[in-house]
Structure 1
């Protein structure tokens, strides 16, 4: 019996033929792609921003908005409470040191001042009376001592005379002994009187000294009280311009309440707030600049605030002259340098970097008819320029506007629109 033989669909010959056909198709497609080149797009050059690559000074900086402030401000607080009796100057006035600003009234302080003055006068009168009494007592003691000295001299004279007469046996022993005892008694009496006088003198000196100290303390308290009364007249502690005056006639001010501030006339500074991202790159003495009225002014960082809340606050002072038309509270743009100025190849900033990531750019041909992709490498940047490390040279022209819709193209044909 015959066995049927089934014919194979995919023979080796057919497989070989199919492989050759696929190779030919791939080769043909590659040839067509090679002949076609990169994707191209016609673009009106007026819709693009074409910038020149240059070589020039480059510096990293951060633009910030600053507020003009006086270099030093003195806050004026009421040292004593009272009712506003008089306002002697207007807000914004330029003051000299010691010039009165506000007059307060405080009847309690005035009454206390009168009581203390009365107490001091009473104590001074007591001191005067005590000194007179002690002086009178001393005079009496001195008179008594003078009498004792006289009696002692008389006793000594009689003792010396009777001693001689007793030795000559002219007088009796009884009379001699009476004279001798009286002489010794007057000596002892003189010693005791002198000792009492010394003790009274020391006691009097101590008593008067204590009373004088009490008078001195009360006079110091009285002087302090007078200063408190003088503090009811609030005066300018230094020369400056009065700002933010907060006082009305008849208004009650408590001790320590803010009534205004005094801006020093020694100069102005700029206070700026930066993003905390730059906290590690800011240091005292760092340079900055600002342009006002077409003129350039240099500044430097003088103070960095340690508290970081809504940003990093820094104070900048002018290194040279201060702008003549600048005013307190004015907002000014400041460029804070983050590096030294160097020479570099640079390309103006633009929207191209959002699509390319700084890896490539459309470079305009020498004849200006097209722009093709060119690989580049960018370095540092500031709000005006990118630093070019590789891929471009000064004099090249590149497209720096946004590449939205162009990022998949390999070449832009720059042809003006007919419309």
Structure 2
């Protein structure tokens, strides 16, 4: 009689074990084949600049290069244009008030001045004629009124003598009536001439005022034209140094063309270009320091130019106290512009990564130095060396501060 064979462990469980192994293999293959949401890039460590988050004092200053410029400049412009006739000064010469610089001719201005003079003469002649007519009219009115007054007196006396004669019946009533009518006529005529005189006086006064106003206006125009003609002989309005002056005899100048300037040779300001990042933190009277030959000279911002050109805006600074000796126009000085108070802060180097990320994120290196993960951060103030860390990083963490040009769309780096 056959005995049934005893199954060993493998024979008993091989189907189950095989199924489990097959399931594990499928899971591993599926995980390996599944898409990874993280964008990963392998990077050579030697191409990276890695820095440590440190604790220190943040100096809220920025370095600037200031160009020495004259504190005051007066520009010379050919307002009406013209032709250069004679040059009295050379570029770079020192001038005093009233010194002749250049003579310019302008035929149009000269003809305009002559025309203005003729118009003024014509108006003055008209004014004088009007005044003479007014005097004649006034004299004629006075003569007429004087004669009428005499006639009224004579007629009044005649009427007075005739009235007693009526009672004596020496004259007729009609003769008296004619005499009284003639007296009334003379009085009425006297009244009308007086009224006509007042009207003539009022009208002539208005005409005289209009003519005088016209003459005054023409005189003003004539003065303006003569001033323009006189300005063609350019003289120094202030003392200083003549610069940017490169005219030649016979050269034509367009209206409004600038042909030179007079600079203050003894007082200076500094012109500096500031990164547009600091636009909102820059204000008038903000202080700065210039170090010259181991001596510091305080300055303050006098004017801010809001136009941004190539990522920078201009500021003018003036010396708050003593001006350095032996500085000249065009010289460059190193400045430190104080933006705020110096305070303790977590710091990272101010490097190229900021231009690529805007300071919103950074790659943080793992403790073993083999990986770097993208992390959002919040940064504060910047100076030429450091950036203030407000949040997102811990002390002694390592971060990549080299350019992120190739990593802008990457989530993590594998460092080898």
State the TM-score, normalizing by the size of structure 2. 0.65
Map 1:241-256 → 2, pairs under 5 A? 241-256=241-256
The residue number in structure 2 matching 1:53 is none
Partner of 1:407: none
Greater Rg, structure 1 or structure 2?
1
CA distance in 2, matches of 1:78, 1:176: 87
Aligned-partner Cα distance in 2 for 1:129–1:303: 60
Unaligned residue ranges in structure 1 (runs of 5+): 4-55, 350-356, 361-378, 392-419
Measure, in 1, the Cα distance between the counterparts of 2:387 and 2:132.
96
Tell me, in whole angstroms, the C-alpha distance in 1 between the residues paired with 2:81 and 2:304: 36
What secondary structure sits across from 1:307 in the alignment? strand
> How far apart are the structure 1 equivalents of 2:95 and 2:383?
45
Counterpart of 2:407? none
Provide the alpha-carbon RMSD of the alignment. Answer: 3.9
- Aligned twin of 2:101: 101
Deviations 1:63-111 (A, max 9, x none): 2222111233332211121111222223223334454422111122212
- Residue 325 of structure 1 is matched in structure 2 by 326
* Offset, 1:320: 1.6
Residue 59 of structure 1 is matched in structure 2 by 59
Count of residues in Structure 1 that have an aligned counterpart in Structure 2: 319
Q: Which residue in the other structure is 1:114 paired with?
A: 114
SS of the aligned residue for 2:103 comes to: strand
How far off its partner does 1:115 sit?
Answer: 2.4
Q: Which position in structure 1 is the counterpart of 2:14?
A: none
Residues of 2 paired with 1:298 and 1:153: CA distance?
97
Q: Distance in 1 between matches of 2:200 and 2:330?
A: 74
CA 183–59 in structure 1, closer or farther in 2 if over 3 Å, else same = same
Structure 2 stretches lacking a partner, 5+ long: 6-55, 351-363, 368-379, 389-393, 397-416
Alignment of 1:128-139 (within 5 A): 128-139=128-139
The corresponding residue for 2:403 is none
Spell out, residue by residue over 1:173-218, the C-alpha distance to the aligned partner (whole angstroms, 9 max, x if none): 2322222222222212212222222222223223322222222222
Within 1, Cα distance between the matches of 2:230 and 2:285? 43
Any idea what SS the aligned residue of 2:291 has?
strand
Q: Distance in 2 between matches of 1:358 and 1:322?
A: 50
Q: Which residue does the alignment assign to 2:259?
A: 259
**Could you tell me which residue of structure 1 aligns to residue 229 of structure 2?**
229
Tell me if structure 2 keeps the 8 A contact 1:80–1:231.
no
- C-alpha deviations, 1:361-384, integer Å up to 9, x for none? xxxxxxxxxxxxxxxxxx999768
Supply the distance in 2 between the matched residues of 1:240 and 1:358 (Cα, whole angstroms). Answer: 62
Q: Secondary structure at the match of 2:300?
A: strand
TM-score (norm 1): 0.65
State the alpha-carbon separation in 2 of the partners of residues 380 and 211 from structure 1: 71
